Amino acid sequence: MSQSTLLEAIERQRGIITSAQFTQLANELNTDAATTASWLLDQFKRWAVAPISDFHVAALVHANNHHGEDFYALGVNVEIAHFGLESAVHAEQTALHNAWLNGAVELKHIYINAAPCGYCRQFMNEFVSGATLPVSIASTHTTLSELLPHAFGPIDLGVTESIFANVMMADVVAAGGESKASLRLHQQASYAPYSGGQAAVEITYSGVSFFGRYIENAAFNPSFNPFLAALSQIALCGQGIDFDKIEAVALLESDSLKSHKDVIRTMVQRLAPNASFECA
C-alpha cells in the first residue's frame, strides 16, 4: 500500500488507523513508532478546522479494544466561526472521543504535535485517572502524571466508574444501522457520572450519520458537548465542515439537572437553519 493510498484509506475510516496499517507505514518510512506518529500528525493537521486561530493541531491516540486489538485514532481541533471560543474542540478531545467511539477500552499512548493545554490535560485525566499514560509532544516524551501533577479527578468526587465500562461499540454496530437504535446505544454508552444525564447526538450530513457521545469531567468544564463531538467526527473525514450539508440533528438525553437541548438547538438554528432538530 502506497503512502497516498494509506492516507486515502484513513480518510475513509474517519481517522482510524489499524495496527497493520501503522506497522506497514513505519516499515515504509523505516522509522520507529514515535517518528511514524509524528509523520502522521504532520499529514493530518491540515484536517483541523481553525478559522479563528489558524492554529492547526493534530493528536493520535494509540488504544486497545475489547478484542485485544491495537489501533490508532486521529483527532484535530475544530473551531466554529462567529461563536464563543468555549465552543472550540481540542484535538486531544477529538482523538480520545474517536478512539472511544471505535471501541477503545485502554489507552496506550497519546501523540500530539503541540503541547496540550491545561484543559486537555484535565480531559485526558478523566480517561486514565492521571496514571503513567505516555504522552509524546513532537520529540519530547513524558507522561500525563508529569504534565498534570497533583491532579484532580474522578476519585476526588468519589466516582469509581470508568469511561470504558459502558456499552461497547460492537453493541452499537449490532443495531443494524437503524438510526434510532444506534443513537440510543450511543446515549447509553455516554459518560455522565456526575449529573447522571447521559446524552448523544446524531448529525445527518449529506445522508450519512455521524454520532457524538457526551463525556463529563470531574472539573465539569471540560465536559464534551455531544453535538460538538459529532461535528468533530465530520472533520475526521478530511473535507472540513460544510454546515449547509447538515440535514438533521437528533439529541437523545436522559432527565437530569443539566440539559443540552437549548444550547444545541440554538447552535443548529444559527449554523444550519434549514436542518431539522429533534430532542427526545
Catalytic residues: 92
Give 231-279 as a DSSP string: HHHHHTTSS---GGGEEEEEEEE--SS--SHHHHHHHHHHH-TTSEEEE
Q: Do 94 and 149 touch, CB atoms closer than 8 A?
A: no
Instruction: Determine whether 140 is exposed, middle or buried from the number of CB atoms within 10 Å of its CB (0-12, 13-18, 19+).
Output: exposed
Could you give the CA distance from residue 91 to residue 109 in angstroms, rounded to a whole number?
15
C-alpha–C-alpha distance, residues 253 and 234, integer Å: 21
Q: Who's near 54: CB < 8 A, 6+ residues apart? A: none
CB hemisphere CA count around 120 (13 angstroms): 25
Report the C-alpha dihedral over residues 51, 53, 54, 56, rounded to 10 degrees.
-110
What is the C-alpha radius of gyration for the chain, rounded to an integer number of angstroms? Answer: 18
Helix (H, G, I), strand (E, B) or coil at 25: helix
Closest CA to 143 of 121, 126, 162: 121
**141 SS3 class:** strand
Instruction: Round to whole Å and give the CA distance between 132 and 144.
Output: 6
